[in-house]
Amino acid sequence: MTNSQENPEMTGATVWLTGLPSAGKTTIAYALAEKLRARGRKVQVLDGDEIREFLSAGLGFSREDRHTNVQRIGYVAELLARNGVLALAPVIAPYADSREAVRKRHQSEGTAYLEVHVATPVEVCSVRDVKGLYAKQAAGEISGLTGVDDPYEAPADPDLRIESHTQSVDESAAALLALLTERGLA
């Protein structure tokens, strides 16, 4: 019997929150992390923007670079999860094959992996426009914006779909916490 089987609170997992820019992924991840820490769980949020700055500096936004970025985050998440941490990865990860490669890595290591689609319509995301990306794209200052002029392949069968435009951040985090609890991971 492994440590995680003897002591359920030591079971790690990766929760990958995918969705368009400004969908609410990071906000939901931090709200969930707060709830989990209140339960005494070890949690790490692997914020996509922070990872790009520190772990994936120098990568651009080509399909190949995006894939490399997702694989790096997936590797770190799996290492954390394997060691009893709940790794929350609010990362766009626009391509289904990149997310599937991360899932397979977790499966091969026997590490729990949940995919959560923060399914916020592009119209809502462009109004939220947390980083001003939609405005810059509309003004012609940038191109390659995921979901606008670059592809986003929504998960066909996620473990959970959150429609953040129809529920509060707290409701979204609570739904995710309920899923983790149901799977014995919270």
Q: What is the DSSP string of the chain?
A: --HHHH-GGG--EEEEEE-STTSSHHHHHHHHHHHHHHTT--EEE--HHHHHHHTSTT--SSHHHHHHHHHHHHHHHHHHHHTT-EEEEE-----HHHHHHHHHHHHHHT-EEEEEEE---HHHHHHH-TTSHHHHHHTTS----BTTTB-----SS-SEEE-TTTS-HHHHHHHHHHHHHHTT--
Mean pLDDT of the chain: 92
Q: For position 60, what pLDDT does the model report?
A: 87
- What confidence category does residue 2 fall into, taking pLDDT thresholds of 50, 70 and 90? very low
The answer, yes or no, to whether residue 12 has pLDDT greater than 90, is yes
62-79, pLDDT tens digit by residue?
A: 999 999 999 999 999 999
The whole-number average pLDDT for the span 70-99 is: 97
